[in-house]
Amino acid sequence: MTELRHRGTTENDLQHQQSEDKGSENEGKAEKDGASDSESKPDTGTPGVPVPADDTPEVLNKALSGLSSRWKNWWVRGILTLAMISFFFFIIYLGPMVLMLIVLCVQIKCFQEIIHIGYSVYHSYHLPWFRTLSWYFLLCVNYFFYGETVTDYFSNLVQREEPLRILSKYHRLISFAMYLTGFCMFVLSLVKKHYRLQFYMFGWTHVTLLIVVTQSHLIIHNLFEGMIWFIVPISCVICNDIMAYMFGFFFGRTPLIKLSPKKTWEGFIGGFFSTVVFGILLSYVMAGYSFFVCPVEFNSDHNSFEVDCEPSDLFQLQDYALPAALESFTGWPTLRLYPFQIHSISLSAFASLMGPFGGFFASGFKRAFKIKDFANTIPGHGGIMDRFDCQYLMATFVNVYIASFIRGPNPAKVVQQLLALRLDQQLHIFNSLKTHLTERGLLEEEED
């Protein structure tokens, strides 16, 4: 009996174990099948980004209630575009320093919109310090770039003030120490089982800093070279955006790119020609005013930033001989232009042909997270980032263009650097320069 009981128990255990093995095999197959299905299926899940609500002013909603959604959107975009252009003219009137502050505000808002999308993805995991560290890194990068800008463009101001001179001397060390503090805070905030997500968000923050903050400071550098290098490129992007929308709205038939289904070849081509003509005309108007063409400088006598200079040859009218074909067509042997107008053709062409790719990049980003706009700050237009997606790419091109074809050695900066040297170093440079100029025949040799 005992043997039978033992045998029966053993058989029951074997059957139970076999059933568990079969169950585990089935679960394993199901997991494998599920994994293969999830791998084979495209990622169509939305990462939990909230959809901004429509905040179109009630006045506009009532006034345009009888129109179709297509024409309602057209009127809303048009009215808000005119309002933004008017505000743009107003801040230009206030001068370059106000423009710099506006660029900083736009930069912060664009950063906030992108980081908010990342936080919406990350928030459910309750990981510590992500938003705090993101804003801290923004502070570090801005401190570094603004310090470099002040030292580079306003060295006479820095040399005058003792606190600024000390901060300028140790600026990069301070900037590195600030970043290193944030880096250590990130390492200490790492949470087990969420390492990959945290490093993903760390990369998200740094890529956002690269795209938004770095390029916004290039805009400020362009501004300090003269407001015309700030206004013309931005205006060309705005003109291309408006004219491409207008041509596409009324004549668009052929889709341009899948990332932006509403973009058409008709709008793209129409925007190109309109922007080139607009850039030439705007440059002609602005090149005649020293307020727009002179670089921003600090006047030590008045303790203020000023825009006053003798315009360079780039902003002096010159006669250009026309090719024979154009001369026979127009009857003009020469054409009187500002040299800057020729450069404006390059700026306009880039704004029309390559600038839109900044918008396509933003469209791909928004599609990845199943959102229509970065935010709903501007009714009919979306967020601030939706309006500046092309501007950042344009700013980089303008900065590279100035460095490659326009900017030369600045005698004022060279003199300021010489004055910062020791007296024996200044004397050595003086003697070397005197010898060089004597050998070139520009100075007479002194008789013994």
CA-nearest of 338, 359, 340 to 398 is 340
Q: Is the pLDDT of residue 11 over 80?
A: no
Contact indicator for 256, 267 with CB cutoff of 8 Å: yes
How far is CA 153 from each of CA 157, 246, 285, 300, rounded to the nearest angstrom? 9, 40, 27, 14
Which phi and psi angles does 230 have, rounded to 5°?
-95, -45
pLDDT tens column, 363-410: 888 888 888 888 888 776 778 898 888 898 999 999 999 999 998 777
Residue with tokens 């076999």: 18
State percent of the chain over pLDDT 90: 40
**What whole-number distance in Å separates Cα of residue 346 and Cα of residue 131?**
40
Measured distance between the N- and C-terminal CA atoms of the chain, rounded to whole angstroms: 134
pLDDT on residue 293: 94
Bigger pLDDT: 14 or 321?
321
**To the nearest whole number, what is the mean pLDDT of the chain?**
82
Contact indicator for 436, 430 with CB cutoff of 8 Å: no
CA dihedral (277, 394, 92, 304) positive or negative: negative
Range name among 50-54, 178-182, 304-308 with the lowest pLDDT average: 50-54
Per-residue pLDDT band for 32 (boundaries 50, 70, 90) equals: very low
pLDDT on residue 7: 43
423-439 mean pLDDT: 90
426-443 mean pLDDT: 89
pLDDT on residue 130: 80
Strands (E), 208-247: none
210-219 mean pLDDT: 91
pLDDT tens column, 234-277: 999 999 998 998 899 889 889 988 888 888 999 999 999 999 99
Contact indicator for 383, 373 with CB cutoff of 8 Å: yes
Bigger pLDDT: 13 or 244?
244
Structure tokens given for 279: 């850039």
Range name among 15-29, 159-173, 206-220 with the lowest pLDDT average: 15-29
pLDDT on residue 269: 94
Bigger pLDDT: 288 or 23?
288
Structure tokens given for 161: 């003030």
**What whole-number distance in Å separates Cα of residue 404 and Cα of residue 334?**
28
57-63 mean pLDDT: 66
Cβ neighbours for 183, distance < 8 A, ≥ 6 positions apart: none
91-118 mean pLDDT: 91
pLDDT on residue 227: 94
